[in-house]
Amino acid sequence: MNGTSVDVAEVATTPSSSRRVRRMSIAALGVLALALGTLQSVVEPALPLLQRELGVSPAQGALISNVLLFAGAVFTPVAGRLGDRFGGKRVLLAVAVVVSAGGLLAGTASDLPVLLVGQVLQGVMVGALPLSFILVRKNLPAGESQAAIGVVLALFTGGGMVGTLVAGPIAENLAWNWIFLLPTIVIMAATAAVTRLMPHDPPLQPEPGRRSSIRQDLRRLATPQMRNAYLLTFFIMASSGMMIFLLPQLLAVSGSGYGFGAGTTTIGLLLLPGVIAGAVSDSVGGVAAARFGPRAVVVVGTVVTVISLLALAFVHSSSWQLVLAKVLTAFAAGAGTTALLAATATTVETRDTGMATSLLVVTRVVGVALGAMLAGIVLALGTDPSTDDPTHTSFVVGFVVSALVAAAALFFTRIPTNGNLS
């Protein structure tokens, strides 16, 4: 098979012991994905605690998660091209080394600047996903590789659930530094297993007569239809990013007549249903797009998001109201952006599928990061100087602004219901 190191027929005739080794290597890859997802998600429930421990404002606290997202956004579209050129295993191991260094640095940080540098290094972990997919496709037959890719992606998402759950108990019973150190130790062990078990893969050979550069790829994708897809994804995820930042802050604050004074463990448990809803929505979004069209999925999801956020702005006296709003908005955002991703993957030219979908992944990351930053600014501007806590009004404004950001997506929903982006 042109461009792959292991042909399907070759895999089929490989001795059973060799096939077991390959499956063990994919299992090690899955453990690595789980640990990476855990490390990525531990900051969200622990953010109020980190702000207190480091003595930083909400706006500065937003940087802790944002720099990781921005680093991932910069590196992700490059990771796939590097994997094709130099081999997926070689680049993945380099990524794991950088992420491990970032985790160790963040875990030993004593101030915000050092922690931010650690987060930047950890941010390249997002690039591990396309590299993992390269390795899965090269080492398993087509039928098995499709299932394995789903498992790796599910484990990365599952790691987000694990991180949300364990961040509180670890921070409260050990120290906040260990929320970074423990996942990093698992990443290092899983990397060693991948190094030992995963077969080496040569780079893919370019198609005969084809000369392609990132600039040429981007030029082909600069169509009005694709720009709509990117703008839709951006506004949906920017609104989601604001929610991701605002909810832990409101749960943690204990103001006069508002807030809940929740600890890190409680915050993680309250956020968990939303994390699960977001994970489930990834599979639902693709199915719904095929049945109803991406436009219908995006419009319904956006309307649900706007209504939920406006309701939350004026009714948030009980924690279940925050949990319900988180579940609804996380599910809507996940389904909408996945529908756009699925539509894009099936309508662009085959040679552009990787670049087009990676750019949508980057847009998701950037949207979340900028949304969280905007929410941090809103809370910072509304901080009560006598208590250094965000005021009740600042949370109301934050939820309303988040609703308006989501509503802006409705201006770019000119996507035919048959899934064609043209």
Q: How many CB atoms lie within 10 A of CB 292?
A: 15
Question: Which residue did the predictor score with more confidence, 155 or 393?
Answer: 393
Confidence band of 171 (pLDDT split at 50, 70, 90) = confident
For residue 18, name the pLDDT band (cuts at 50, 70, 90): low
Range scoring the smallest mean pLDDT among 52-61, 204-213, 368-377: 204-213
Per cent of the chain over pLDDT 70 is 79
Helix (H/G/I), strand (E/B), else coil: 174: coil
Confidence class for position 99, pLDDT limits 50, 70, 90: very high
Q: Is the pLDDT of residue 6 over 60?
A: no
- Separation of alpha carbons 194 and 31, rounded Å: 10
Predicted local confidence at residue 112, as pLDDT: 86
**CB-based burial of residue 6 (10 Å sphere; 0-12 exposed, 13-18 middle, 19+ buried)?**
middle
CA distance 79 to 386: 47
Q: Which pLDDT belongs to residue 82?
A: 77
Confidence at residue 1, expressed as pLDDT on a 0 to 100 scale: 38
Please check whether residue 354 is in contact with residue 130, taking contact to mean a CB–CB distance below 8 angstroms.
Answer: yes
pLDDT of residue 21: 60
Which position has the higher pLDDT, 190 or 131?
A: 190
The whole-number pLDDT of residue 153 equals 65
Residue that the structure tokens 């949508």 belong to: 360
Flag whether pLDDT at 304 surpasses 90: yes
pLDDT band per the 50, 70, 90 thresholds, residue 399: very high
What's CA 93's distance to the chain center, in Å? Answer: 20
Beta bridge mates, 255:
258
Query: What is the distance between the alpha carbons of residues 12 and 141, in angstroms, rounded to a whole number?
Result: 7
CA distances to 30, 135, 156 from 90, in Å: 17, 10, 20
pTM score: 0.67
pLDDT, position 277: 86
The structure tokens listed for 283 are: 């599979």
- For position 72, what pLDDT does the model report? 82
Query: Which domains does the chain show, CATH number per domain?
Result: 1-204 (1.20.1250.20), 216-422 (1.20.1250.20)
Q: Which position has the token pair 């905007």?
A: 374
**8 pLDDT exceeds 60?**
no
**Predicted pLDDT of residue 418:** 43
> Could you report the per-residue pLDDT of 222-274, keeping only the tens digit for each?
677 778 888 999 999 999 999 988 999 999 888 778 889 888 788 888 888 88
Contact call for residues 141 and 128 (beta carbons, < 8 A): no
Residue 402 has pLDDT above 90, yes or no: yes
pLDDT of res. 419: 43
Closest CA to 180 of 372, 59, 50: 50
Looking at per-residue confidence, does 197 or 250 come out higher?
A: 250
Question: What are 323-375's pLDDT values in tens digits?
Answer: 999 999 999 998 888 778 767 756 766 456 556 667 777 888 788 888 988 99
Q: Is 135 a residue whose pLDDT tops 80?
A: no
pLDDT score of 205: 57
Q: What percent of the chain shows pLDDT beyond 90?
A: 24
Q: Which residue has the higher pLDDT, 122 or 284?
A: 122
| Non-local CB neighbours of 292 within 8 Å, separated by 6+ positions | 417
pLDDT of residue 151: 67
Tens digit of pLDDT for each residue in 105-120?
999 988 888 989 999 9
How far, in Å, CA of 162 to CA of 174, rounded?
Answer: 17
Among positive and negative, which fits the CA dihedral 202, 203, 204, 208?
negative
pLDDT tier, 220 (very low <50, low <70, confident <90, very high otherwise): low
Residue predicted with more confidence, 148 or 147: 148
Pairwise pLDDT comparison (215 vs 243), residue with the higher score: 243
Going by pLDDT thresholds of 50, 70 and 90, the confidence category of residue 94 is: very high
Q: For the chain, how many residues are written? A: 422
How high is the mean pLDDT of the chain? 80
